[in-house]
Structures are given as structure tokens and as C-alpha cells.
Amino acid sequence: MRRLLTVLFIILTAQPASADLKCFLEKLKSVKSMKILFSQRTKLPVAGDEVDLYSGVIYYKRPLHFRWEYKKGSDIRIISNGELLEVIFPSEKECQVTELSAPSTVFPLFQIIENPENLRKLFKVLKESKDGDSWVVGLSPTYKDSTFERVTLFIDGSCNLRAIKTYQFDGTEATYIFREVTINEELPEKLFELEACE
């Protein structure tokens, strides 16, 4: 009897991935490239105001090549050639280059796209719940030195990621809404070439 109760307890308390999360991760395995048009809402801890001024485009190509460009609200560009990460601040005439040597140097979105099968190694699943037509998945990074305390994914009924929300340890919250996503379109290598930091 005790054994039966133990087995039932394990079955009832186990937290398998939801059908939508599984479907989303399975879909990502076939992604070779991605182009995302996004808008961004940011809530700053000091002012507490939401700023809805940002929009831009993200290009991604395996393995871990990406380009993040703002078209409105900022002129920052973030480029990865798979080995190095370059952050360019044109208005300040500054540029930083770091190695992509640790998970903490990569934005959670790219960690998930690059290795969907490792989601549960890189993140602890905090919650999975239905919110209207979306499936909401709360994650917490398990690796050291993360800038982010939590990450929330919003997955639609077709297993597509429609938004991602990040919560930084300093209290900053940012929501990235994906207005248009194109998958497996040919992307030129030139997009992922680093711009020389002077």
C-alpha cells in the first residue's frame, strides 16, 4: 500500500512540460534561421513608468549568429558571429566586444532557440498556465551570473512564441512583442559580421 501511495504521489506531483511547451520546443528544432520584427515595452525600477518607444528587428542563424537592431527609440546594435558578441552604441561612439563563453553572455531568447532540448538544463520551469489563447511559461535561469531573475514566454495555440518578458535583478522589466516572424529565410552572412570597434 505504501509503495502504491508513493507511486501515485510521484505521478501527481511530477511536472511534465505542457503540450504547448513541448510543441513549441519541438518546432524550434527545425529552425535554421529567423527574422523577428518586434516592439518593446520597458518598465524602469526608478521611475516605475512603462516606456513604449522601442521597435526593431532581430536576425538569427544557427549556430548562435544573431543581429539585434533597434529602428525606433535607440540606435544600439548587438551582433554575434557565433564566437564573439559585439555591442555598438553609435550615439556615444562606444563599442564593446566579449566572448560568447558562458550562458550569461547570451540573451535568453537565443539560448532557447539555439538549444531547445536544453531548456530544462538552462532554466527551471516555475509555472505553466493558460491565459486566453496563449500558454504562459515562467522560467528562472539556473546558470551563474545571469542578469535575469525570471523570463516569461507567451506561446500561441500554433506553438509559436509571440512575446517574451524579462525581469532583471535590478527591477527592470522588458516585454518584447513579436509582430512578425519569418522562419528559415536565407540570411546573408554579412548581417553577422562584426563591425570594427575602434
CATH code of the domain covering residue 108 = 2.50.20.10
Residue 160 belongs to some domain of the structure: yes
Tally of domains within the chain: 1
Burial call 20-40: b when 16+ CB within 10 Å, e when fewer: bbebbbebbeeeebbbbebbb
Highest mean pLDDT among 6-10, 63-67, 192-196: 63-67
Model confidence pLDDT, tens digit, residues 70-79: 999 999 999 9
The pLDDT of residue 103: 78
What residues make up the domain containing 146?
18-192
Task: Give mean pLDDT, residues 89-99.
Answer: 89
Q: Using pLDDT thresholds of 50, 70 and 90, give the confidence band for residue 53.
A: confident
Q: Does the residue 40 lie in any domain?
A: yes
**pLDDT, the chain, mean:** 86
* pLDDT (tens digit per residue) in 149-197: 999 999 998 999 999 999 999 999 999 999 999 999 999 999 999 987 7
Residue 165 lies in a domain: yes
Do the domain assignments include residue 13?
Answer: no
Q: What is the pLDDT of residue 76?
A: 93
- Please name the helix (run of DSSP H) or strand (run of DSSP E) that holds residue 28, with its range, or none: helix 19-28
Integer Cα distance of 78 and 109 in angstroms: 14
Closest of 185, 176, 192, 149 to residue 55, by C-alpha: 176
Look at residue 131 and tell me if it is in a domain.
yes
User: Does pTM surpass 0.75?
Assistant: yes
Range of weakest confidence among 27-31, 105-109, 159-163, 186-190: 105-109
The CA-atom distances, in angstroms, between 175 and each of 4, 148, 191 are 45, 13, 25
User: Is residue 7 domain-resident?
Assistant: no
Segment 124-141, tens digit of pLDDT: 999 999 888 889 999 999
pLDDT > 60? residue 6: no
In a domain, 6, yes or no: no
At residue 17, the pLDDT reads: 44
Q: Is 5 inside any structural domain?
A: no
